[in-house]
Amino acid sequence: MASLAISRLGRGLLTVVAGGMLASMVAAAQTDNTALDAQRAAFRQAYAAAAGQGGDGWRALASGLQDYPLYPYLQAASLEHDLHQVDRADVEAYLHRYPDLIPASDLKRDFLQELARRQDWTDFVAMYQPGLGDTLSCDALQAQLAGGAKLDFERDLASLWAQPSLPSECDPVLQAAYDQGLLTPARIWSRIDAAVEAGKAGTVSGLAPWLSPDDAQTARNLALALNDPAAAATAANAWPDAPRMRQAVTLALVRLSRRQSDMADQAWQTLQSHFQFTPEQRDQVLNALAVFHATDYDSNALTRLINLPPSAQTPASREWRARVALAAKNWPAVLDAINAMPVTQQQDDEWQYFRARALSELGRTADAQQAYASVAHQSSYFGYLAADHQGSPYALCSMEPAPDEQVQQSVLVIPGIRRAFELFAVGMIKPARREWNQALASADAQTIRQAVILANQRGWYDRAVFAFNKGDALHYYPLRFPLASQDGLVTQAEQAGIDPSWAYGILRQESAWMSDAQSGADARGLMQLVPSTGAEVARRNGLPWSGGNSLYNPVVNIALGTRYLAQMAGRFDDSPWLASAAYNAGAARVNQWVGARGALPPDLFVATMPFKETREYVARVMYYSVIYDWRLHGNAAPMSTRMVPIGQPYSRLDPPSTRKNLTCPAPAVPAATSSSPAPAAGATTGMVPRNATTH
């Protein structure tokens, strides 16, 4: 009894000691976090001063930050602010202290451009090194000319000359080359050809004055064909039948077909007898006319596509032959169109699905089910549509990378990764991404995998989306499709009256979880709203609005994005698939398409939308919605219940009678374009199965 009592006492003492150690460790971790939070706050203040005011005022705010990973960013920001007045010694001192850092390379590039602006060619030449881009290459050649040296075409210009467009800094260099007699007509035409191929009309126009008068007019005709194909097609009636004129006419007709197929058709009827087009040029025009008459819903489009000469056919014309047949619900023609495709194109999961669809509509049930089975094992939009026709579960082999603490510790001591994580923590996401990419440029797969796990733990979700985009890594669904509950999407979607799974699908497609995403149209943030739309949605819904930059805040962006998505859905009977199309292509265009083909079933309507981008967008959003439904609930509403016929109201409050299980393993059959090909059973190297028997 005594020994038992002593034993109990010993265990009690051990518990007390262990508890005390744990408490000490927790307290130490909290202290470390508090200190780190203080450093981050101090850095933000110091950086704002350095970037906004320059000088040395930031130094007082950065007291105690000398060992903080981002300290070098402060002086670089100050020097960048003062770039017009700093001297070479200041810049070189920074470069000597931080030679391998990204801010140092940026500062060097920017200071060299400043030296070129000052025409301080002595300091420029002393600091310049090749490989810093076309602008600085041309500045270096200006420095060479300023020193009295002549240009050598092969040594100095050949690589630049091959570019279809160049920055304005190159203009004086090119003029000097022309004045030296280096830019022969043959060289000028070679660059014009490259510019035409790249669609750079400005380059073509800029080179025209260096040609003979007749050749200059020909070049201007090529530029006109690029800029205004309708005007070029009209003017071509007065052009002589010469090789480059035929090139310009062909270019104009192909580009005009895309914009106005009827006008292009009329011009072709006139011009084909005026010019002796080559067989290749004739094929280009015939192909463009056939394809774009199809996208314009022309009633004769199918006949045009069927009658295209074999030499004029392309993958695009062959698939549009199938799409036009689908739009007409001409099922024998659908099968003929698919059979006319090359085998590799037929194996695309889209055409496997529509082959099955055609067979079913023609009453060949057994053949249809076999065809559906060939695609239903794929984890993709068409795979899930096929599974709905079969009444089978959805294929999904979800895995998670196994954490490796030892590798993670080695990742955390990589200086570039430390800077990347800190930049992310202080909201400087673009430089964080640059540090990440540079630090892991030559890393092995295991290191990248563990780095992504660490990034995900910190809420940096887009790292998984971009890192796990091929091979076995496609099966890391929990990382590739994060939920990010702290951003409030589920709550905001519920308040907006839309399905959170759909909202997640839109977000994932729009930004791939890049909270700092910005499009060419100035759409911003996770759900890609332009500031004017954000302001209007905020006003309409009584939500706070603090300007366009607030859209980079995930919480703000999601609150406004879900309301805008609900607003868009309300214009289309709350249909998620149709509203997705409108979110991408615009409501006006979708209304036009509905007016032309609104009686089609949803799968056929999506397949016959004129824009490839929108077809793929809707397919991905619908697929991602299923994945997110599974992530939220462990199973998913059938895709077919989300894709209600046009004109039929959709309500997510009327749940389907059954939900889909997502099963693994799926048959190990390779898929040509499956969004996420299923692995062979047991292919789990470096992975941890996630509910593999039921999900």
In the block, which residue shows the tokens 């470096």? 686
- With b for 16 or more beta-carbon neighbours within 10 A and e for fewer, the 458-473 pattern comes to eebbbbbbebbeeebb
Alpha-carbon distance of 86 to 112, in angstroms, equals 12
The two structure tokens encoding residue 695: 């999900």
Nearest to 121 by CA among 105, 104, 136: 136
Question: Which residues does 115 contact at the CB level (< 8 Å), separation at least 6?
Answer: 88, 121, 123, 124, 127
Omega of the bond leading into 665 within 30 degrees of 0 (cis):
yes
Alpha-carbon distance of 689 to 475, in angstroms, equals 9
Active site residue 494: no
Cα–Cα distances (Å) from 297 to 84, 319, 593, in that order, read: 58, 15, 9
Alpha-carbon distance of 468 to 419, in angstroms, equals 22
Residues 501 and 660: beta-carbon distance below 8 Å: no
Catalytic residue among 510, 536, 613, 616: 510
Residues 221 and 192: beta-carbon distance below 8 Å: no
Alpha-carbon distance of 628 to 400, in angstroms, equals 16
Residues 653 and 364: beta-carbon distance below 8 Å: no
Residues 421 and 501: beta-carbon distance below 8 Å: no
Alpha-carbon distance of 54 to 321, in angstroms, equals 62
Single-letter amino acid code for the residue at 662: L
Alpha-carbon distance of 1 to 524, in angstroms, equals 73
Alpha-carbon distance of 260 to 231, in angstroms, equals 12
Strands (E), 421-574: none
The residues that are catalytic are 510
